[in-house]
Amino acid sequence: MATAAVGYSRWRSTAASLRLSVLMFLADPQWLIPSMIAPVIFGLVAFELFRGAGPYFLTYAILGAGMMSMWGQTLYGSGWATGQDREFGTLEPTLQSPTPYLYIVLGRVVWNVVSGLIGGGIVYVVVVLAAGGPPSLPNPLAFAILFVFVMLSLAAVGVVFAAFYVYTRYAGFIQNIGEFAFYVGTGCMFPVVLLPFWTNPIALVFPPTWALDALRYNSIPGYVGFSWGFEWDLVGAVVTTAVYLAIAGTVFHRVERHVLEVGNLADF
């Protein structure tokens, strides 16, 4: 046979994974529920929940509901798609290809970030419609940028979660237990400082905790979050996100080796 293709291209593999994610999304209408319908419901519930709670209740509602829908998209999305690879039996041919699995996950994460932001946008529109007007944001541009930043910090956690799904078919079980703790712990709905003190150090392990606190500082005048304030929140978020991505790189390499040793790739 003529020349064999040798190797892979990182960006092309990531793009291929992103493309497949979109195709799978379009092919399966059940995805409309978490990605389109859930944000509407979260938005309405959050609006009722925070109604009248101070002058900035609209911002709280948008952040709370936005986080909930984005959280589902990213964290769940990338892990779940990997679980599906097990279920479909596509994990084996994918790992057999020259592309490291990390790039497959990155492609999915890009899609999850995009669809998470769409969900966040839906929440915003729903809350604004329910309130009859937009929230008063001191700096709308910074709000938008920080919103995307929060999303990226969530994505970093999603990548690490995906590694669990490659590691074992019991990842879904592990994630379900961790889900609640994570959701409350990172202060998705309520600021972390409102939680019992002992949970704070745990919450700081998650990049979104920092990013979200920064976002609240930025968009809610008089907000009382972590005592170190907005700037150090940003630094913390960047550092923890970088650490997660670095861990993900190593973890994936090890996990790929581990599954070849154990031989559980075909389990689902």
Q: What is the contact surface with other proteins in residues (CB under 8 A)?
A: 1-9, 12-13, 15-17, 19-20, 23-24, 27-28, 88-90, 92-99, 104, 260-261, 263, 265
Minimum distance, C-beta of residue 151 to other proteins, in the bound complex (Å): 25
Q: Which is nearer to other proteins, 99 or 115 (CB)?
A: 99
Minimum distance, C-beta of residue 85 to other proteins, in the bound complex (Å): 9
Q: Which is nearer to other proteins, 28 or 196 (CB)?
A: 28
Q: Which is nearer to other proteins, 9 or 136 (CB)?
A: 9
Q: Which is nearer to other proteins, 59 or 78 (CB)?
A: 78
Q: Which is nearer to other proteins, 92 or 231 (CB)?
A: 92
Q: Which is nearer to other proteins, 242 or 262 (CB)?
A: 262
Minimum distance, C-beta of residue 31 to other proteins, in the bound complex (Å): 11
Minimum distance, C-beta of residue 176 to other proteins, in the bound complex (Å): 19
Q: Give long-range contacts, CB 8 A cutoff, 24+ apart: 229-236.
A: 234/210, 236/204, 236/210
Minimum distance, C-beta of residue 81 to other proteins, in the bound complex (Å): 11
Rounded distance between C-alpha atoms, residue 181 and residue 169, angstroms:
21
Minimum distance, C-beta of residue 244 to other proteins, in the bound complex (Å): 24
Q: Which is nearer to other proteins, 48 or 92 (CB)?
A: 92
Q: What is the DSSP string of the chain?
A: --PPP-S--HHHHHHHHHHHHHHHHHH-GGGHIIIIIHHHHHHHHHHHHHTTSSTTHHHHHHHHHHHHHHHIIIIIHHHHHHHHHHHHT-HHHHHHSSS-HHHHHHHHHHHHHHHHHHHHHHHHHHHHHHHTS----S-HHHHHHHHHHHHHHHHHHHHHHHHHHHH-TTHHHHHHHHHHHHHHHTTSSS-GGGS-TTHHHHHTTSHHHHHHHHHHHHHSTT----TTHHHHHHHHHHHHHHHHHHHHHHHHHHHHHHHHHHT-TT--
Minimum distance, C-beta of residue 73 to other proteins, in the bound complex (Å): 19
